[in-house]
Homo-oligomer: A and B are copies of this chain.
Amino acid sequence: MQTKRKAAVRSVELTEEKSRNGKFEAILRAAAQVFAQSGYFNAKVADVARAAGVADGTVYLYFKSKDDLLTSIFNWAMGQFLERVRAELTGLSDAKEKLRRFANMHFALLEEERDIAIVFQIELRHSTKFMEQFSTTHLASYLQMLREIIEEGQRSGSFRTQLNAKFAAKFLFGALDEMATNWVLSHRQHSLTELAEPVLDLFFHGVNANHA
């Protein structure tokens, strides 16, 4: 996980390095936009280049391949997200509050950057190869953060101790992810962020009648 973490951090640094002239980020954002609109497989590298205002060949000065473009969107956005979350949660002590903040930030990011949301929820899922890589790197970090918060909650007496924290983390992620996909596909007919609270309510209390 350490190694993977570094890769993500590096891509954030690369952004800063190369953003002197802004091309790296311009291409990345153009790619997110084009991929979100046409889908990864239908999108042409030439489309991305045009949207970024550079020549086709220039894309290859900043990215190794079309696939790298997709991977980089993910690393870039996920890196930023995890960094922000970490900063935001530092001051908090209550596990439930942390989860609330976490879920809110997750949804808020997607809601603010719809192109990236589409790429995350749809385009990134297209291959076992990518999904494996995805789930062993950043997703692992994401789940690890959730898990640690849940374990904290267990130690502080907020959550049931007999629960498998890793399992609960996946469970929560699954629920959040489904809401996000649903929102992406429903064409924004409702707000995503306001679903964070209900999701957590269900996560905390379950559906049983005798509690909550």
Contact = CB atoms under 8 A, between A and B. Distances in A.
Interface stretch (A19-27, A100-108, A168-176): A168-176
A13 interface: no
A184 B198 CA distance: 29
16 contacts: A39-B126, A39-B128, A41-B41, A41-B126, A41-B127, A126-B127, A132-B185, A159-B209, A170-B179, A171-B199, A174-B175, A174-B179, A206-B211, A208-B211, A210-B211, A211-B211
A207 B168 contact: yes
Contact of A207 (B177, B178, B184, B204): B204
Contact of A126 (B125, B174, B198): B125
Interface string A157-192: 111111110011011011111110110110000000
A interface SS class: helix
A153 interface: yes
A14 interface: no
Contacts of A118: 128
A189 to B, nearest CB: 13
Contacts of A40: 126
Interface residues of A, number: 53
Nearest to A129: B39
A206 B209 contact: no
Contacts of A212: 160, 162, 206
A182 B122 contact: no
A207 B150 contact: yes
A185 B159 CA distance: 28
A84 to B, nearest CB: 23
A202 interface: yes
